[in-house]
Amino acid sequence: MSGTSMDGIDAVLVEISKDQIQLKETHSQAYDPALRSKLAELASGNLESVDALATLDRAVGLEFSRASNALLQKSNLPSSDIVAIGSHGQTVRHKPQGPSAERYSLQIGDPSSIAEHCGITTVADFRRRDVAAGGQGAPLVPLFHASQFGQDGQCRAIVNIGGISNATLLDGAKVVAGFDCGPGNTLLDAWVRRHRGDDYDADGAWSAEHSEDQELLQRLSMAPYFTRTGPKSTGPELFNLEWLDAQLGAQPPGVVQATIAELTAFAIVESLQACEVTPEALFVCGGGARNTDLMRRLHTRLEAEQIRLGTTDELGLAAEWVEASAFAWLAWRTLAGLPGNAEVVTGAEGPRILGAIYPA
């Protein structure tokens, strides 16, 4: 899969037995800068032609097939040993609000090209069935979180900090709630790219050098999204540099970076405080789990709520590979004829079998 940060593709090889994941091999590859730039233009609305959409759909599909084949080479397995590929694709627009007939979530990455170039049945297009059933189409990982990380007698929050951060609240193995919290890495990455030319702020080193601007943080935290109740999901269509620029004063760039990091921590904790059940522990996955400064800021806020902070590494699945594993699991659910959405999270009319199957 590739997330809203559009930094590249994560691929995992997993074995699934009685719905439990065993991670066998991993592979990550960056997008070519030219392709990434075009994807960012498309997602921002600057490219609107059918030709641009169709060309990028095919290009991403070919990149996904290369990532899958590279993963197989690392694992020394033939394609005939693989049951299926689950492809999330690349989200280029997510609009779950408005009149029902105008809501959509669009992922590109031609699944036919993946099936053709890998010789493996491919399951893709997971979000649109949930949208068709009246749901947000996101988040889709809560059932996976419940299956892998639920523990009888414990209330846990699993938070993925990717481009957008999303949370699943579990009471034992039951999904109590789930939602997109707000910006995760998307603003942090975009700001450091603008001012330092780096793809991301490694370990949060830049933001750690500065303190947040409280007045700016207050303005950012007043965004209406943060006070909305679920079901709710969002993306860079809302939280982007244009939105950020409109709130800025004369703050130095490093102070802005620190404030964005604090906003990410605020959004996660604030969204959990709105839930009826308070988790005993919060486990982070996604790239944000490796951002030392962000984790420090999150720890400070959670400590005040007496919530323990950890990562999913403690629960048996490395933080950076959770979301890719989730879409392998969702593909397995599709092939088994089992629903993949949690209607309490997305707001869909009921459980639905997600995705379309493209035979090898």
Task: Please say whether the beta carbons of 91 and 107 come within 8 A.
Answer: yes
H helix intervals, the chain? 33-44, 50-75, 111-118, 128-132, 142-149, 186-196, 205-208, 214-221, 241-245, 253-273, 292-304, 322-335, 343-346
Give the integer Cα–Cα distance in Å for 28 and 248.
Answer: 35
Token pair of 66 as six digits: 């290369």
Provide the pairing of β-strand 308-311 with 85-87: unpaired
- For 29, 79, 133, 276, the CA distances from 136, given in Å and listed in that order, are 29, 34, 9, 21
Token pair of 64 as six digits: 């996904």
Give the integer Cα–Cα distance in Å for 217 and 256.
Answer: 9
- Binding site per annotation, positions: 3-10
Give the integer Cα–Cα distance in Å for 173 and 63.
Answer: 36
- Binding site per annotation, positions for ATP: 3-10
